[in-house]
Amino acid sequence: MLKILMKRAWLISLALLPGFAYAQTLQQKIQAAYNRLQQDAQCQYATLSLTVLDAKTGEQVFAANPNAGLAPGSTLKTVTSITAFNVLGKDYQYQTQLGYTGNISNDGVLTGDVIIKGGGDPTLGSWRYAATKEGVVLNIMVAALKKAGIKKITGRIIGDNGIFNGQSIPDGWIWQDLGTYYGAGIAGLCWRENQFDIALNTAGVGSPVSVAGTIPAMPYLQFKSEVTNGAPKTGDQAYSYLPGFNSKIMYLRGTYAVDQTKKRISAAIPDPAYDAALRLTDTLKALGITVSNEPQSSIMLADKGQAVPQATKPLTTILSPELSKIVYWLNQKSVNLYAEQLLVTIAANNKKQPVTGNGVDAIKEFWEQRGIDKKSMNIFDGSGLSPQDRITTFTMARILQSTKKEKWFGDFYDSLPVYNDMHMKSGSINSVQAYAGFQTSHGRELCFSIMVNNYNGPGSGIRAKMFKVLDELK
């Protein structure tokens, strides 16, 4: 009896401790909010999961359905980002090589080809950084050619994908996404984030939408629009389709609301290496440096059974921004291309062919070595665009928690957008909404992952209800 009384007294005194009482209250508050979400009409047929960990210690603060494999949407980008920081380092930079074959005569005639050899840099020609903008990169190339004394090129400008010569589209991506800017495939030589804009002519509801032009001009593509003007507030539901690499016709299908102000959609460049070679060719011609033959890409040459000539003379090397800066925009704007390029770069770093499958395997192996069951990561890409991706909230929260001790944690944390006054990455695909990030609660740092799959009704509604659950972490 004495022992029982002593035990009760100990429990009572423990419960009176501020930290213990707060932890109990926090769990209860989260549980109540989670129950309300689970019982909401939008979640009648949905599967929910939430894991909250102490960001410093890894202690489990709350977990509901933590081991259910669910579609994470773009929150999967946090896993890719964190793995890249670990494997490549925050200061990692891609390299693009410019060189030439043959010889330069005394009067400046290059009898040979100019080769732009890509190294997987997703930022080459991107508008997001001052040093990567299209005009800046082209000027660097032109300056290198002029410095070498080249005034005429009897060969070609060739865009070379280098060792990135495998499948450019990850398995599991749906047909509707493949021609869109966010479904642009990976490439050894990326250019302008492998996308361009299509300007639209719009009219009244139900009327056809025609193509007004492209930005930049795409002289090698034709466009057939089957898009019609949709009713107000129906948004941009127009999609671009390119039947295959050799096709020169891009189809536009769907609807485009009459009240949309942008009047343009963004589409994927089918062969970015060719587009980069074309832009350099056109720039040189505009400056009076003639190029005798049409630009080519390594894919085009491979279709003809020809190999890319190896540059024997280097001209310049173009470095990408550091990885920390790439990850910033990757997460801030949820750039699928950046995530997929990092995924295959991780594979290349492991001395594997840089294809999506090898990158997925490398991520799973990396985290398995750190105690995470790779079977909890049934993933097919690095961006979360594949609707087949599955991962548990417990695994994602553990991966987030692992960053807290790293010197680059600040860079990763700053890359996370702010939603609901919380630093967290969002993810959404068809009937899927997810968030993953960090929050400080009464001085205690927390990390979390929450996913809802197969909800019904509007996305805005489920997001607001998920925020009410996450508000309990504040």
pLDDT of 20 over the 80 cut? no
Tokens of 21: 């009482």
Place 172 in a pLDDT band, splitting at 50, 70 and 90: confident
Contact 278, 190 (CB under 8 A): no
In contact, 335 and 328? CB cutoff 8 Å: no
| Domains assigned to the chain | 28-90+325-473 (3.40.710.10), 95-166+272-318 (3.50.80.20), 192-268 (no CATH)
Q: Contact 454/42 with Cβ under 8 angstroms?
A: no
Question: In this predicted structure, what is the pLDDT of residue 14?
Answer: 43
- Determine the average pLDDT of the residues in 402-408: 97
pLDDT, position 42: 98
Confidence category of residue 59, pLDDT binned at 50, 70, 90: very high
Q: Is the peptide bond before 417 cis (omega within 30 degrees of 0)?
A: no
Confidence of residue 153 (pLDDT cuts 50, 70, 90): very high
Cα dihedral across residues 336, 332, 372, 403: positive or negative: positive
pLDDT of residue 21: 56
**pLDDT surpassing 60 at residue 416:** yes
Q: Tell me how far apart the alpha carbons of residues 470 and 474 are, in angstroms, rounded to a whole number.
A: 7
Rounded mean pLDDT, 182-202:
96
pLDDT band at 7 (very low <50, low <70, confident <90, very high): very low
Q: Is the pLDDT of residue 166 over 70?
A: no
**Percentage of residues in the chain having pLDDT higher than 70:** 94
- Position 23 scores a pLDDT of 63
Q: Give the list of residues 6+ apart from residue 155 with CB closer than 8 angstroms, or none.
A: 101, 102, 110, 111, 112, 113, 114, 291, 292, 293
In this prediction, what percent of the chain has a pLDDT beyond 90? Answer: 90
Q: Per-residue confidence at 242, pLDDT binned at 50, 70, 90?
A: confident
Average pLDDT, the chain: 93
pLDDT in tens, 216-239: 999 999 999 999 999 999 999 999
| Inter-residue contact 135 to 127 (CB < 8 Å) | no
Query: Does 257 have pLDDT greater than 80?
Result: yes
Position 178, amino acid: L
pLDDT by residue (tens digit) across 260-279? 999 999 999 999 999 999 99
pLDDT at 193 over 80: yes
Q: Give the C-alpha separation, 409 to 82, whole Å.
A: 9
- In this prediction, residue 10 carries a pLDDT of 47
Q: Tens of pLDDT along 336-379?
A: 999 999 999 999 999 999 999 999 999 999 999 999 999 999 99
User: What pTM was computed for the model?
Assistant: 0.93
Q: What per-residue confidence (pLDDT) applies to 244?
A: 65
pLDDT at position 167, please?
65
pLDDT band at 246; cut points 50, 70, 90? low
Q: Is the pLDDT of residue 53 over 50?
A: yes
Is residue 8 pLDDT above 90, yes or no? Answer: no
List C-alpha distances in Å: 367 to 64, 353, 434.
22, 20, 21
Using CB atoms within 10 A of its CB, is residue 38 exposed (0-12), middle (13-18) or buried (19+)? middle
Q: Is 167 exposed, middle or buried (0-12, 13-18, 19+ CB in 10 A)?
A: exposed
Residue 245 has pLDDT above 80, yes or no: no
Asked if 284 and 139 count as a contact pair (C-beta separation under 8 A), the reply is no
